[in-house]
């Protein structure tokens, strides 16, 4: 019994005094919260739609996810400041592109995710148990990044589905998480898809997490994340040989905004 009390008393002391302990505590708490969220949403998706359906995500956001995510953000000490929401008010399908820093990006996605919008994710996520199943039920499109031909065929099929079912797509064009305080070069898949479907691209920029979150330094403090949604970039009339120019245009624009909003991002959550 004494050992139990000592352990319980030690936790707040370690949270206050050890940055490394705080990092692991918050990281574990976050992933446990995501698993619990998935466990709650899986039966709701099955009861509502009978299985995989793009409408599941909006239904869950309105009734479950937003409530739970608000509490997760509070426990993590995170605050999101969003600007440019009006730029998501585009009729029909479009492709959202955003920079990718960590799994915390999911919290930001839930702040702004428009109707009938699904994410593109690496196939490995499908194998993560409850979280992978919940993502699949929500319509997430899984791509094997190691097989370029498979990825291209999936993206081509996705372009057709976007137009047929009026679906929006959220893509991380860096292709992997990036903690370096800058943007990695963009892969071309999202831009080929947008050009093929002749749909607009809406860039969304997350400010740098480096002032409060760093897996390398085992740091996870409270902090503010800025999301800036930029005006839609039209692709009507573009052809495949315009893809590189389009990708560079988006990259340079988002990198400039990333530097701008990250310089002003610091301080504790409020």
Which DSSP string do the residues of 173-210 spell out, in sequence order? Answer: TT-S---SSSPPPPPSHHHHHHHHHT--EEEEEEPP-T
Average pLDDT over residues 80-105: 94
Selection from 255, 235, 252, 143 nearest residue 191 by Cα: 235
Report residue 225 as tokens: 């994340």
**Ordered DSSP codes for 232-246:** PB--TT--GGGHHHH
- The class of domain 2-263 in CATH terms is alpha beta
pLDDT at 173 over 90: yes
Domain limits of the chain? 2-263
Q: What is the pTM of this model?
A: 0.86
Token pair 């698993």 is found at 35
**Ordered DSSP codes for 31-54:** HHHHHHHHHHHHHHHHHHHSS--T
Higher-pLDDT residue of 78 and 59 is 78
Name the percent of the chain lying above pLDDT 70.
87
pLDDT 10s digits, 24-46: 989 998 999 889 888 988 998 88
Per-residue pLDDT at 148: 60
């Amino acid at each position: 019994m004494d050992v139990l009390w000592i352990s319980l008393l030690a936790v707040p002391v370690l949270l206050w005094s050890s940055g490394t302990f705080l990092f692991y505590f918050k990281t574990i708490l976050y992933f446990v919260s995501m698993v619990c969220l998935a466990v709650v949403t899986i039966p709701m998706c099955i009861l509502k739609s009978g299985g995989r359906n793009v409408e599941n995500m909006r239904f869950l956001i309105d009734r479950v996810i937003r409530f739970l995510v608000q509490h997760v953000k509070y426990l993590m000490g995170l605050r999101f400041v969003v600007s440019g929401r009006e730029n998501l008010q585009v009729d029909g399908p479009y492709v959202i592109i955003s920079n990718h820093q960590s799994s915390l990006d999911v919290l930001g996605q839930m702040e702004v995710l428009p109707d009938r919008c699904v994410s593109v994710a690496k196939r490995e996520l499908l194998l993560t148990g409850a979280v992978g199943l919940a993502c699949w039920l929500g319509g997430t499109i899984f791509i094997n990044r190691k097989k370029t031909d498979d990825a291209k065929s999936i993206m081509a099929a996705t372009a057709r589905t976007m137009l047929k079912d009026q679906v929006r797509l959220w893509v991380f064009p860096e292709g992997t998480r990036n903690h370096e305080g800058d943007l990695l070069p963009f892969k071309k898949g999202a831009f080929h898809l947008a050009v093929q479907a002749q749909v607009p691209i809406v860039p969304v920029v997350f400010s740098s997490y480096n002032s409060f979150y760093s897996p390398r330094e085992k740091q996870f403090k409270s902090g503010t994340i800025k999301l800036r949604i930029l005006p839609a970039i039209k692709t009507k009339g573009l052809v495949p040989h315009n893809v590189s120019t389009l990708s560079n245009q988006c990259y340079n624009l988002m990198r400039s905004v990333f530097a701008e909003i990250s310089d002003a991002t610091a301080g504790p959550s409020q």
